Amino acid sequence: MALQSTDDRPDPVFEIVPAIGAAPIEQLVAAFYRRVATDDLLRPMYPDEALDEAEQRLRDFLIFRCGGSEAYLTNRGHPRLRMRHAPFAIDQAARDRWVKLMDEAFEEVNIPDPQRSTLQEFLRATATFLRNRE
């Protein structure tokens, strides 16, 4: 059953993987983490051994959230995004850098519209939601 938006229409984010498959999401996350690996602001938030695991978690989360496999739920349970990100100082600068690197990753990966714009809007809103410092 598709998630519902507040006006009883299916959530368009949940329809992305059924429309385009999981491969573009996998490619997007890989392109994003290639950028994170060399970024002076975001890279320090990841312990050396955790970057691959963080990539896997984001990949699984996005595939799940976009209507694909439930591997994220099986492995991690409820996303609890604010709680899981609370230990990290996410201020406006970190949020903006995250969005910038993700936008660059979108330029590298062919995700068609309307799925691209829907996913970008969702990711930008989520990045803003996760801010926890001024």
Instruction: Tell me whether residue 111 is in a domain.
Output: yes
Instruction: Tell me whether residue 134 is in a domain.
Output: no
Instruction: Tell me whether residue 1 is in a domain.
Output: no
Instruction: Tell me whether residue 11 is in a domain.
Output: no
Supply the range of the domain harboring residue 96.
Answer: 19-129
For the cut 60, the answer to whether the pLDDT of residue 110 exceeds it is yes
* Domains contained in the chain, number: 1
- Give the model confidence (pLDDT) of 37-82 as tens digits: 999 999 999 877 689 999 999 999 999 999 999 998 888 878 787 7
Instruction: Tell me whether residue 32 is in a domain.
Output: yes
Instruction: Tell me whether residue 3 is in a domain.
Output: no
What pLDDT is attached to residue 114? 97
Would you call the peptide bond into 114 cis, given omega within 30 degrees of 0 as the criterion? yes
Instruction: Tell me whether residue 125 is in a domain.
Output: yes
CATH value at residue 83 = 1.10.490.10
Instruction: Tell me whether residue 39 is in a domain.
Output: yes
Q: 3-state SS string over the chain?
A: CCCECCCCCECHHHHHHHHHCCHHHHHHHHHHHHHHCCCCCCHHHCCHHHHHHHHHHHHHHHHHHCCCCCHHHHHHCCCCHHHHHCCCCCCHHHHHHHHHHHHHHHHHCCCCCCHHHHHHHHHHHHHHHCCCCC
What pTM, to 2 d.p., does this model score? 0.88
